Amino acid sequence: MASGQARSETTGAKVGDEGLGLPRGFPRYKGPSWLTESLPTTVEPWVPGGRNAQARGGSSPAVVTRLLRRAVSHRPWAWPERRVFFISDPHADAQAFVGSLVASGGVKQTGAGLDEIRLTKRGRKGVFVIGGDCLDKGPSNLALLRSLRRLMDSGARVTLLAGNHDMRLLMGLMALEHERSPRTEHLFVRMGGKAIPLLKEVYAEYLAGKKKPLAGVPGRKGCRRRLFPDEHWFEAFPAMAREQMSDKAIERELARLRKKVANFEAACEKAGLTLRQVYAASQVLCALFLRPGGEFAWFFEAMRLAHREGSFLFVHAGLDDSTARLIEDEGVEALNRRFAEQVLEDPFGFYYGPLANTLRTKYRKVDFPLTEHGVDRVYRQGIHAVVHGHINLTAGQRLMIRRGMLHIEGDITLDRNSRRKEGLEGHGMGVTIIDPAGRVIGISNDYPHAKVFEPKRYLERRRAATQKKARPS
C-alpha cells in the first residue's frame, strides 16, 4: 500500500503456539495498517538459553537458574512503577524509530507522515528510554533527531542514553571548539568515514543553497590544519596518553589514526565533499549541537550515561568492575554526574577511560573487565539485569548470561542500511518493554512472536521441575 493510502488501525495480540496467555501489559499497536501488520500478534515464553534467547551458544537451565537465584539472594526483584519502553540504536532511521514507537503501544501514528504522532494513554503513563546510537549508518541523521525531538515535545517522559556513535561526534566537535592539544586534536579525524554522511547532509541542508557557502572558509591547507592533528601528534600523543592507556592500547590508537589521517580527505572527496566544504559543515555542526540556541543543542544536554528502573540498569553497551564499584559506592545518579563533568572538563579522560567502556564494551579482552566481584557489587544494590543495545541482532531481542549476569540485549538492527548488510528487508521496528506486572516483553518485526520473560515464573517452574525429578519413582 502506498504511503498516501495509509489507514489507521489498532492491532492487539493473540495467544502464541505455545499456549501462553496474553499478558495484560502487551501493547496495542496504533498506526497505519501497512506498518502494524508486520509486528507480532502472538506471544511465546522467553527463556534464557532457549531457542529464542540468543543467536549462538547458550547456558543450561541449571546455570541460568543458579545465577538468577544468586541475584535474588541479595535482594528480591523490583519492578518499575511505570511501564518502560526501551528502544536502542535507531541509527539515523526516523521511519524505523517511529515504527518502534508504534510497536511500544505508547505512541499512535495518525497518518503517513513521520511527524503525525501522539501519545496514547499508555505512553503518557510510561517512560521511553532511548538506548543511544541515534546517529550514523541510516538515511538521515537530521530526520531522526527531529523525530526524537517530537517525541520529547509530545509530553512523553524520555531518558536519552549516550551511545558510542553519539559521543564520537561530540568528541570530534569539541576538539574543534577547544584549544588544540595532543590529547584531543585528533578526535575530529578519528570519526573517520562514518561522519561523512552527516557532514554531507548538513552541507546540503544548511550551506549548499547559499550564494557563497564557503565565504570566510580558509583554503584547503588552512582547513586541513584545523581538522587534522598536526605533524608532531604521533610523537606527542603516547607521552600524554601513557598515564591512562596501556602501551598496547596506544599502539592500536596510533595505527587507527594513521589509517584515518591517510584516508579521510580522499573519502570525503569520493562522497562529493572538498576539505573546505567539510570544514564549513563542521562549523555548522558546532553551531547546531554545541552552542546555545542551536537546533540540536538539547541532544547532548539531555544525554545520560545510565538509567535505573527497579532491578534493571539501562546503558548503551554494558558494565565493568570500576563502573560497578561506583554504582555500589555512590549510586547511578553519581555515575551520571561524573559523566557530565568528565565530558566537559576532561574529554580525553572520559573517552579513553572506564566510563566510556559502558558505551563500547562487548566483553572482549580489550574491554575493561566485568568479574564476579563486580556482578556482586550491583547485585547488592538490587540490580539484577543490564538492558542495553550496541550488539546488533537479526531475530529480535536476546537474553544472554554475560560474566554471570543477565543481559537483555535490545539492538534489533533498526536502520535499513545495516539491515541490508545483514540480509534483512526494509527498516526494523521493535521495543523491549519492562512491565510493572513482572515481565519483560521483546517485540520485533524480525521475529514471529513477541517474547515474554517472567523471572519469578521461570524460577517457580524450575523449582517444580527439580522437585518432581527428585521424587522417587
Sheet hosting strand 8-11, strand order edge to edge = 8-11, 29-32, 107-109, 117-119
Strands 430-435 and 439-444: antiparallel
Please, what's the b/e burial string for 74-97 (b: 16 or more CB within 10 A of its CB; e: otherwise)?
Answer: eeebebbeebbbbbbbbbbbbbbb
DSSP β-bridge partners for residue 128? 85, 158
The single-letter DSSP state of residue 125 is H
Q: What is the dihedral of CA 349, 302, 149, 121, to 10 degrees?
A: 130
CA distances from 336 to 76, 162, 312, 355 (A): 25, 10, 16, 10
Tell me what pLDDT residue 5 has. Answer: 31
Q: Which three cell numbers stand for residue 155?
A: 509530553
C-alpha–C-alpha distance, residues 415 and 143, integer Å: 13
Domain 3-162+305-470 has CATH 3.60.21: yes
C-alpha–C-alpha distance, residues 101 and 48, integer Å: 26
Q: Which residue has the cell 505508547?
A: 106
The full DSSP string for 273-304 is --HHHHHHHHHHHHHHHTSTT-TTHHHHHTEE
C-alpha–C-alpha distance, residues 175 and 186, integer Å: 8
Nearest CA-CA partner of 408 in 373, 454, 440: 440
Give the long-range contacts of residues 149-155, CB within 8 A, separation 24 or more.
149/298, 150/115, 150/117, 151/101, 151/107, 151/117, 152/298, 152/302, 154/107, 154/117, 154/118, 154/119, 155/119, 155/124
Tell me what pLDDT residue 465 has. Answer: 75
CB atoms within 10 A of CB 409: 26
Residues 6+ apart with CB under 8 A from 360: 164, 317, 367, 390
C-alpha–C-alpha distance, residues 187 and 229, integer Å: 8
Tell me what pLDDT residue 50 has. Answer: 55
CB atoms within 10 A of CB 355: 23
- Range(s) of the chain covered by CATH 3.60.21: 3-162+305-470
C-alpha–C-alpha distance, residues 297 and 290, integer Å: 6
Tell me what pLDDT residue 303 has. Answer: 98
pLDDT tens for each residue of 388-416: 999 999 999 999 888 889 999 999 999 99
Tell me what pLDDT residue 306 has. Answer: 98
HEC per residue, 161-182: ECCHHHHHHHHHHHHHHCCCCC
Question: Angle 372-380/61-74 helices, nearest 10 degrees?
Answer: 50
Give alpha helix (H) positions in 120-246: 121-125, 141-153, 164-177, 187-190, 196-202, 220-227, 233-241
Q: Which residues of the chain have pLDDT under 50?
A: 1-13, 15-20, 54-58
Q: Say if CB 245 and CB 253 are below 8 A apart.
A: yes
Tell me what pLDDT residue 241 has. Answer: 94
The full DSSP string for 408-454 is EE-----SHHHHHHHT--S---EEEEEETTTEEEEEETTSSSEEEE-
**C-alpha angle 290/293/298, rounded to 5°?**
60
Q: Is 223 helix (H, G, I), strand (E, B) or coil?
A: helix
Tell me what pLDDT residue 18 has. Answer: 44
CB atoms within 10 A of CB 342: 18
Tell me what pLDDT residue 51 has. Answer: 53
Tell me what pLDDT residue 10 has. Answer: 40
Tell me whether residue 373 is exposed, middle or buried, using C-beta atoms within 10 angstroms of its C-beta: 0 to 12, 13 to 18, 19 or more.
Answer: exposed
Residues 6+ apart with CB under 8 A from 371: 321, 403
Q: Say if CB 315 and CB 161 are below 8 A apart.
A: yes
C-alpha–C-alpha distance, residues 94 and 92, integer Å: 6
HEC per residue, 313-327: EECCCCCCHHHHHHH
